[in-house]
Amino acid sequence: MEKIIIFDTTLRDGEQAPGASLTAQEKLEIAFQLEKLGVDVIEAGFPIASPGDFQAVSDISKRIKNSAVCGLARCLKQDIEAANNALKIARHPRIHIFLATSKIHLEYKFKKPEEEIFALAKQATKLARRLCDDIEFSPEDATRSERSFLYRVIEAVIDQGARTINIPDTVGYSYPQEVYSLITDIKNNVPNINKAVIAIHCHDDLGMAVANSLSAVLAGARQVHCTINGIGERAGNASLEEIVMAIKTRKDAFINLYTQIKTKELFPTSRLVSNLTDFIVPPNKAVVGRNAFAHESGIHQDAVLKKKITYEIMDPHDVGISESQLVLGKHSGRHAFRSRLEALGFHLNDEQLNKAFIRFKEVADKKKDIFDDDLRIIVEDEIRVVKPIWQLESFEVNSGTKIKPKALVTVNKKGKKLNSVSSGDGPVDAVFKAIDKITGYNAKLEDFRLEAVTSGKDALGQVSLKLKIKDKVISGRGSSTDIIEAAIRAYLNAVNKLETK
Ligand code: KIV
Ligand code: ZN
């Protein structure tokens, strides 16, 4: 059996998704979960990009034991040294250097001839290899590069000690047969290619990132770059969960290939990344979407009851989806609450547990049955709040078909209660305007989504939104059985994030 190395770039390319910025603490939390999931390499960030990125890569290097930790660098001395410094404490450090090789990039981005780029790639690999044993090289925009130049660069960087050659489809332009030929041609035309592992890195601009990655695997690539939920620059990257489950489910096509991913951790990882990045997973998303295993039609339901294999090619339990269980109600005590949370993978300290328990009781007063999914949202809302600088105290809304909606909102800032009244186009608009009057921000609502967490009329509603404040787009989430309250919580969550960051 041959292993397909899973290189996760959620914390680097994934974080490049517009509006998906994560704090160093949130990145660490995701890194722990990626390690639990069993990814081979965690690309933790781009250390030269900002002090925050440097810190995150260095924190992750300190704490991650089993997965290799990787930092990105351009072919520049200062980038490579920054990556090396951030990775110093890692048990298995890897420096990933990249340089574009396509004519389009050379002409318009660098304005440099091929020979200069060739020399830069060689020098940078040599320097990186002096500092770190494990070097990965990416000829950026490889799929649009002239073949002969691409082969020359790959051969040269392998000679300088690159152990992995990653082939990026940077702009998501390729299609599966083309990727298959490219990998095959690299194997046939780069004389020293057997000294390196071939990797593939696909973007989803034409919706083919996963298909292209799998095609590369069939042609001989043995490492795949991917992200949780497929988040990433523009249309995103190849989705980790889809690649892993395709290889596992279609053993007849991916003969003798396996990944070391613990697939039962796929769903919890997807939820964590979605909650921390505020990127909602579409209900119809393959493998981890809410509807991925839901059978609506009567014919399908009947057949599945008779024999699952009729309409289910994967077992939902294999990817960590279990039926959301009815677990607690308003009479449940702290002990039952803590044990259920531990079963769901949350290990809270006493202060976090207290906060989450108070919120649980508030929700249980309004909602008779509390399911696992409700608990997850309650805990995530309470323990992952960035510093709660602005907190909701109370609100009143007056709205109807014949009146202009009006809202009174009271918030608490450092123990001081502040309130304001405003009218708006709707009740949500009115509460947001009232909050703006209090905080002094003139926030523009860029996106607003409401989702029911579980079923039933008393379901928890979760609001995810994006605000534009002073040219920064910042996301927020909040939940409640009352959708106006959920909207206020999400709005304040975004404002708190802005002030904390
Ligand atoms: O898409 C791309 O080309 C990249 C490189 C840095 C590998 O993300
Ligand atoms: Zn990329």
- 79 pocket-lining for ligand 1 (C-beta < 6 Å): no
**435: domain CATH number?**
3.30.160.270
* Any atom of ligand 1 within 6 Å of the Cβ of 140: yes
Ligand 1 atom with least separation from CA of 141 = 3
Residue 45 Cα to ligand 1 middle (Å): 12
Q: How high is the pLDDT of residue 366?
A: 83
Out of 11, 13, 48, mutate this one to test ligand 1's pocket (max ligand atoms within 8 Å of CB): namely 13
Total of domains in the chain = 4
Measure the CA–CA gap between 155 and 139, rounded to whole angstroms: 12
Give the per-residue pLDDT at 384: 67
Q: Given the structure tokens 């059985």, which residue do they identify?
A: 481
Q: Which of 232, 324, 251, 288 is nearest to 20 (CA)?
A: 232
Query: Residue 334 has what pLDDT?
Result: 87
Q: Which residues pair with 2 in a beta bridge?
A: 257
Q: What is the mean pLDDT of residues 223-237?
A: 96
Residues 206 and 155 in one domain: yes
Residue 294 — pLDDT band, cuts 50, 70, 90? confident
- 495-499 long-range contacts, CB within 8 A, separation 24+: 495/389, 495/390, 495/435, 495/439, 495/441, 495/443, 495/467, 495/469, 496/385, 496/386, 496/387, 496/388, 496/389, 496/390, 497/386, 498/441, 498/467, 498/469, 498/472, 498/474, 499/387, 499/389, 499/390
Which residues constitute the domain of residue 488? 390-500
Q: Is the CB of 101 under 6 A from ligand 1?
A: no
pLDDT band with cut points at 50, 70 and 90 for residue 303: confident
Of 222, 245, 277, which residue constitutes the final position of a domain? 277
At 454-497, the pLDDT tens digits run 777 778 888 989 899 888 888 888 889 999 999 999 999 999 98
Same domain? For 69 and 136 the reply is yes
The answer to whether position 286 is within a domain reads no
Q: Which tokens is 359 given?
A: 């919120």
Answer yes or no: is pLDDT of 450 > 80: yes
Q: At 413, is the pLDDT very low, low, confident or very high (cuts 50, 70, 90)?
A: very high
**pLDDT (tens digit per residue) in 246-255:** 999 999 999 9
CA angle 116, 120, 124 (to 5 degrees): 175
- Per the prediction, the chain carries an average pLDDT of 92
Give the pLDDT confidence score for residue 323 in this predicted structure.
67
Does any ligand 1 atom lie closer than 6 A to the CB of residue 201?
yes
- Above 70 in pLDDT, residue 87? yes
Residue 288 in domain: no
For the cut 90, the answer to whether the pLDDT of residue 352 exceeds it is no
- 195 and 300 belong to one structural domain: no
Average pLDDT over residues 154-178: 98
Domain check: are 74 and 178 in the same one?
yes
pLDDT at 205 over 80: yes
Judge if the beta carbon of residue 172 lies within 6 A of ligand 1: no
pLDDT band (50, 70, 90) for residue 65: very high
- Whether 111 and 241 map to the same domain: the answer is yes
For residues 202 and 83, membership in a common domain is answered with yes
Do 349 and 313 lie in a common domain? no
Specify if 287 maps to a domain.
no
Report yes or no: 35 and 61 within 8 Å, Cβ to Cβ: no
Name the residue at shortest CA distance from atom 3 of ligand 1: 170
Give the DSSP letter of residue 203. B
The conformation of residue 17, written as its DSSP 8-state character, comes to S
pLDDT at residue 189 is higher than 80: yes
Percent of the chain with pLDDT over 90: 69
pTM of the full structure: 0.84
As a whole number of angstroms, the distance between CA 265 and CA 241 comes to 10
